[in-house]
Amino acid sequence: MPSPSPMSPARRRFLTDTARMAGGCAVAGLGLAYLTTDARALPAEALRPPGALPESEFLAACIRCGLCVRDCPYDTLKLAELGFDGPATGTPFFTAREIACEMCEDIPCVAACPTGALDKSLTNIDDAKMGTTVLVDQENCLNFLGLRCDVCYRVCPVIDEAITLEVRHNDRSGHHAIFAPTLFADRCTGCGICEKSCVLPEAAIKVLPIRLARATSAEHYRKGWEERAEKGGPVLEGIIDLPDRLPGPGTDNLVAPGGYEPAFKFPGASQ
């Protein structure tokens, strides 16, 4: 057996070369990784096309081919231009206030996508979740001021489901009504037509990405009234419902004028 000899020059050169390459690539790789994570910060006003996978999966799926953009008949979608648009360069997005999504029934953008970055399991455009609309500024919304603008409500493709007008008393004038635009995130597709149509110079109603627009309920919260309805009785056996002694009308205090009968009665409750 030859005794372990000092490294041959060739072997030494090979090892230094390899180490140098690996080091250089590690540095370059860190830079690249930084750029990709930077590109993940999707600005709030940029909405992804219908059926887009969640952003983290989208960036693994979208090859930035632009076929969705080409097939959108309303020129809603654009590919992000390097340095000018916020989303990761070359990925498709739209800005509701510029051109909203017209919610095509055949969803051509999804049909065009070769990779599945726009998920083909979206077959009914009413199920799209491009974002969720939020009435961001009640103080400037004309309906909240007591006027009958109603534009966002009228233009909504899912009228009376995604937006309703809730009638309430106008305390300011004392004898008028306020038709408050009220939003239901479950039904809103995030098409942006309401935001696009808001008559104010800066829209009072805006479509935001769901991560910004919506809270999440804590996992351990249970809605007693839902569970009660499901079970048809109190959730806990033998619970005694004490009468609520709330003042004034509009409560279940039957003694007060305007008091009402509760919808659900506990068996054995005295009232």
Partner 1 sequence: MSAKTKFPVGVEAIAAKGWLSAHKWLIARRLSQTLFLAIFLVGPWFGWRIVDGTLAGSRTLNILPLTDPFVALQGIVAGHWPELTALIGALIVLAAYALIGGRMYCSWVCPINPVTDTAHWLHEKLDIPKGWQPKRHTRLWLLAMVLIVSALTGTIAWEVVNPITILHRGLVFGMGAAWGVVIAVFLFDLVVARRGWCGHLCPVGAFYGLVRAKPLLRVSAPNRAACDDCMDCFAVCPENHVITPALRGKGNDTPLILARDCTNCGRCIDVCSVDVFTFTHRFNDRLSVSNSDAANKAA
**Which of 210, 155, 202 lies closest to 181 in space, CA to CA?**
155
Distance CA 108, CA 68 (A): 7
Binding piece for ligand SF4, criterion CB under 6 A, among 30-38, 188-196, 226-234, 241-249: 188-196
Identify what 198 binds: partner 1, ligand SF4, none; CB under 5 to 8 Å per kind: none
Q: Say whether residue 134 binds ligand SF4 (CB under 6 A).
A: no
57 binds partner 1 (CB under 8 A): yes
Residue written as token pair 């996508």: 113
User: 3-class DSSP state for residue 25?
Assistant: helix
Residues whose CB falls within 8 Å of the CB of residue 39, separated by 6 or more in sequence, listed in order: 59, 87, 88, 89
CB environment 229-245: b (16+ within 10 A), e (fewer) = eeeeebeeeeeeeeeee
- Backbone angles phi and psi of 56, in degrees to 5: -65, -35
Residue 232 CB, shortest distance to partner 1, in Å, is: 45
35 binds partner 1 (CB under 8 A): yes
Residue 256 backbone class (left: φ over 0; alpha: ψ -120 to 50; beta: rest) = beta
Binding residues for partner 1, total number by CB under 8 A: 48
How many binding residues for ligand SF4 (CB under 6 A)? 41
Helix (H, G, I), strand (E, B) or coil at 163: strand
Identify which range of 1-9, 80-88, 139-147, 155-163 contacts ligand SF4 by CB under 6 A: 155-163
Give the amino acid at 58.
Answer: F
Binds ligand SF4 by CB under 6 A, chosen from 49, 87, 209, 234: 49
What CA–CA distance (Å, rounded) separates 8 from 34? 39
142 is a contact residue toward ligand SF4 (CB under 6 A): no
Question: Which of residues 39, 44, 67, 210 is near ligand SF4 by CB under 6 A?
Answer: 67
Q: Which of 12, 13, 70, 214 binds partner 1 (CB under 8 A)?
A: 70
Q: Which residues bind ligand SF4 (CB under 6 A)?
A: 49-50, 62-68, 72, 74, 76-77, 92, 101-104, 107-109, 112-113, 115, 117-118, 125, 133, 156-158, 162-163, 188-194, 207
Q: Which residues bind partner 1 (CB under 8 A)?
A: 17, 21-22, 24-26, 28-29, 32-33, 35-37, 39-40, 53, 56-57, 59-67, 69-71, 78-85, 88-90, 112-117, 120
